[in-house]
Structure 1
Amino acid sequence: MHPPAPANRSERVHDADAAIRQTDSDAALARLSAVRKGYLTDRFISSLLPRAQLQPLRSPLINTGTYPEGQLCQIVSLGAGSDTRFWRLMDGPWKEQIGAYFELDFPDVTLKKAMTIRNPRSGLSTTLGHSELDLGGQALHSSRYHLLPCDLRNPPADIFPGLFKEYLSPALPTLLLFECVLVYMSPEASSILIQWFVDFFNPSTHTPSPGTLGCTVYEMFGLEDAFGQVMMNNLRARNVSLPGAKPYPSLESLPSRFLTHGFTSAKALTLRNIRSNYIERSELERISSLEMLDEVEELNLVLEHYAITWGVKTSSSAASISPWIKWGLRPVKQQLADIA
């Protein structure tokens, strides 16, 4: 039996936002399950989940679907939720290249994450060193990591200058990460959001040579076919809508998200393509040995409706464009030889 409809628009909006936030919890629990089964290595994810040791394992289909895999730079993760990527980067060989790392999400999400980070039992604060809370505990700052509260659907020109303050530098190469975020926003709102960063990294009197801007989006697309409609109906049953999927009915349409904003280049691949052609055969064999997967056809259908799209925007000089023009995934030669 469905609950009664909210009484007014503000309650409906709040209810819809709660459903969107729940998708982050679902993703975090799926990642925890994949880690416990051996698909992924992430020693931090359990710190961000209450009673992690009591959470049940997910099905092989969910576990397999969860598995993906110089100069100072910046990373801005928008709609970061329970992501542990910053801590994993700090635990690896690239930690000295991260000049600044930003995570943005709903204020109640960042409040919860800030409290978890500051809890000594989580072990997350050790990586940060000294940190300070801000905005009533909804924001957190350390020398490299910044957790910022906002609603990404609001005009970024109204909220970003105050949030980023002096922390975000237009002079450094910067990567924007959108992991299942833009699909929940209207196309107009997501376009304005991307354009703000494009404008920020454009040449100006203060920054005549801005850093290269990269952007990566991971989300569902092509939901107008039969299987896509099943996905949409399942989400509607949980009060989740996907207004941002409508402009992208095909894989070929996805790069336009960046090209319309003047990006130098943009490409997209489905997760099925990535799984088949961009992951080492030995790794695929390791994954298949972890547990029996009967729903191979269903997995392929799901992976056909998720894609990674990436784009890069450089200055107009040939010297700045050439190192980035082939930026992206590299096919595995062995698989290509087998296919040929």
Structure 2
Amino acid sequence: MSKLASDSHSSTAAVQATNDDASASKLSCVNKGYMKDSYIHFFVRRPVKRSPIINRGYYARWAALRKLLLQFLKSERHGEDRNIKKQILSLGAGFDTTYFQLQEEGIAPHLYVELDFKEVTSKKAALIDSSQLKDKVGQAASISRERGEVLSDHYKLLPVDLREIQKLDNVIALAELDPCLPTFIIAECVLIYLDPDSSRAIIHPDDAFGEQMIRNLEKAVAWDMLQIYNNSIDTREKRRVERLELFDEFEEWHMMQEHYCVAYAINDAMGLFQYIGFSNDQHVLVPSPQLPQESEAC
């Protein structure tokens, strides 16, 4: 194996390892009561206890994405039917459980598609196949551990290296995403692990779609995580979270949260999404983990 190939393999393995770390951190948050997730434990082999600053950081990230997702899923044209079919495409989804959470709450989209390295999707397919999650994707679902695929009417898990643009296009076609339906595209802590040329090719390919994407991105909004935490989470919910653990790392917390951001851009040809985003008068309303739930960077 050449040094270049070896370096590429090592880099890929390191990126895949971040998935296990993220899943363990999410379970730590759940166990401490920051948020509810009935499914993350299926994907964590050895539970760990994270520090309060990590728990709070993962909670803030989860709350920010959830805000945008709920806005997208509940958006509608004024006076029209609420049952507009919608899609979610998650790039580098890892062991994320958002689909199962949304399904539990009765607000899952018409189609939810997850893409990641085959090494990751194979493990996820196996864990789904060997747990009660198998019923969640439907009795008629086709699950292949070898190919790293789960194919059902409303949920699809497919393997692809995002850097291979042609294969990415083919996999998106295989997922049967409808280009005419409103689609929420998630790239949560994914593009930062790619080289600049690869990330540019994903965000704005050199075609008519890419040119439109560039125009959209010129109107993009970006908030750092400190802004989101301070201004876009309901005051009562924030008070509840801040009582969960002793916390005195405020200087480090501010520095860390200002280091991360959420950026989003919207192409709203259907006139559905004028109320999506982070503004001072919109708040993340997150149900308490101790209570039944009422019915993420795009």
Shorter-normalised TM range:
0.7 to 0.9
1:102 corresponds to which of 113, 126, 133: 113
For 1:11, give the aligned amino acid.
Answer: S
CA displacement 1:189-211 (0-9 Å, x = unmatched):
12221235985699xxxxxxxxx
For 1:127, give the aligned amino acid.
Answer: K
Q: Does 1:294 align with 2:252?
A: no
Superposition deviation, residue 326 in structure 1: 4.1
Asked if the contact 1:195/1:261 (under 8 Å) is kept, the reply is no
- Which residue matches 2:70? none
2:278 corresponds to which of 329, 332, 335: 329
CA displacement 1:46-73 (0-9 Å, x = unmatched):
001124xxx2211111111111212110
| Cα distance in 1 between the residues matched to 2:25 and 2:279 | 27
For 2:265, give the aligned amino acid.
Answer: G
2:11 corresponds to which of 6, 10, 16: 16
CA displacement 1:77-116 (0-9 Å, x = unmatched):
0000010011011011413xx1111100011000000000
For 1:128, give the aligned amino acid.
Answer: V
Range with greater deviation from structure 2 (282-291 or 189-198): 189-198
Q: Does 1:281 align with 2:281?
A: no
1:63 corresponds to which of 44, 55, 58: 55
1:77 corresponds to which of 86, 90, 100: 90
- CA 1:58/1:283 → structure 2, altered by over 3 Å: closer, same or farther? same
| Cα distance in 1 between the residues matched to 2:145 and 2:205 | 23
Q: Select the structure of larger CA radius of gyration.
A: 1
- Which residue matches 1:115? 126
Q: Does 1:153 align with 2:102?
A: no
- CA 1:162/1:63 → structure 2, altered by over 3 Å: closer, same or farther? closer
| Cα distance in 2 between the residues matched to 1:198 and 1:93 | 37
Range with greater deviation from structure 2 (191-200 or 129-138): 191-200
- Extract unaligned runs of 5+ from structure 1: 1-5, 203-212, 214-257, 335-340
Asked if the contact 2:92/2:188 (under 8 Å) is kept, the reply is yes
Asked if the contact 1:263/1:314 (under 8 Å) is kept, the reply is no
For 1:47, give the aligned amino acid.
Answer: F
- SS of the residue corresponding to residue 313 of structure 1 reads coil
- SS of the residue corresponding to residue 45 of structure 2 reads coil
CA displacement 1:287-335 (0-9 Å, x = unmatched):
11101012111011100011010111134xxxx34x434421242479x
| Cα distance in 2 between the residues matched to 1:73 and 1:181 | 23
- Which residue matches 2:225? 271
Asked if the contact 2:129/2:143 (under 8 Å) is kept, the reply is no
- SS of the residue corresponding to residue 20 of structure 1 reads helix
2:199 corresponds to which of 184, 190, 197: 190
Which structure carries more strand by proportion? Answer: 1
- Which residue matches 2:67? none
Q: Does 1:178 align with 2:171?
A: no
Superposition deviation, residue 153 in structure 1: 1.0
TM-score normalised per structure 2: 0.80
Q: Percent identity?
A: 33
1:91 corresponds to which of 104, 121, 124: 104
- CA 1:274/1:333 → structure 2, altered by over 3 Å: closer, same or farther? same
- Which residue matches 2:287? none
- Which structure has more relative contact order (CA 8 Å, sep 6+)? It is 2
Superposition deviation, residue 263 in structure 1: 4.7
Asked if the contact 2:88/2:184 (under 8 Å) is kept, the reply is yes
Superposition deviation, residue 169 in structure 1: 0.6
- CA 1:283/1:85 → structure 2, altered by over 3 Å: closer, same or farther? same
| Cα distance in 1 between the residues matched to 2:48 and 2:175 | 43
- CA 1:197/1:134 → structure 2, altered by over 3 Å: closer, same or farther? farther
| Cα distance in 2 between the residues matched to 1:87 and 1:265 | 32
Superposition deviation, residue 148 in structure 1: 0.8
2:142 corresponds to which of 132, 135, 143: 132
| Cα distance in 1 between the residues matched to 2:135 and 2:169 | 28
- Extract unaligned runs of 5+ from structure 2: 64-81, 284-298
| Cα distance in 2 between the residues matched to 1:125 and 1:331 | 41
